Amino acid sequence: MARKLFENKDSCAMLHTINIIGTKWKPLILYLLANKSVRFGKLLFFMEGVSRKVLTDQLRELEEDGFILRQKFGEVPPRVEYSLTEKGKSFLPVLKQMYDWTIEWNPEISFMDCKIVLPVED
């Protein structure tokens, strides 16, 4: 599936960033990879509602953009793990600011109700 990009994305830093992480799944993928490498099946488990195809597409795009690293192990059965690159790690403070903003302006939202269990370290 081809990405749906804003036209003239390179003329604006905001549009460029939105083109990279502007889906509902990519920030969550980055969040889940914040602390360690994670296998595809585990990502799928933690991301309720995402299909295998969409997750695969999102992972490929993040890899193309230099945010994640895909490591394939020569084992049977095959094992693939995903981890953040330095570029991906440098984006974590942005996710933290988004989280802090949400908590400040939406105090009724409880992190305890979130299906995600892998925390971002400060």
Looking at residue 122, its pLDDT comes to 43
Is there a contact between 73 and 79 (Cβ–Cβ < 8 Å)?
yes
Looking at residue 109, its pLDDT comes to 79
| Vertex 115: Cα angle to 112 and 120 (nearest 5) | 75
Is there a contact between 113 and 62 (Cβ–Cβ < 8 Å)?
no
Spell out the residues 6+ positions from residue 102 whose beta carbon is closer than 8 angstroms to its own: 109
Q: What's the CA gap between 30 and 103, in Å, rounded?
A: 19
Task: Annotate 52-108 with DSSP letters as a single string.
Answer: HHHHHHHHHHHHHTTSEEEEEE--SS-EEEEEE-HHHHHTHHHHHHHHHHHHHH-TT
Tokens matching residue 94: 């942005």
Looking at residue 19, its pLDDT comes to 80
Per-residue pLDDT for the chain (122 aa), expressed as one digit of tens each? 566 655 665 677 887 788 888 888 999 999 999 989 999 999 999 898 999 999 999 999 999 999 999 999 988 888 999 999 999 999 999 988 988 888 889 888 776 666 554 444 44
Q: For the whole model, what pTM was predicted?
A: 0.81
Looking at residue 98, its pLDDT comes to 87
Q: Provide the 3-class DSSP secondary structure of residue 46.
A: helix
Looking at residue 80, its pLDDT comes to 94
Looking at residue 121, its pLDDT comes to 47
Q: What's the CA gap between 107 and 79, in Å, rounded?
A: 40
Looking at residue 103, its pLDDT comes to 83
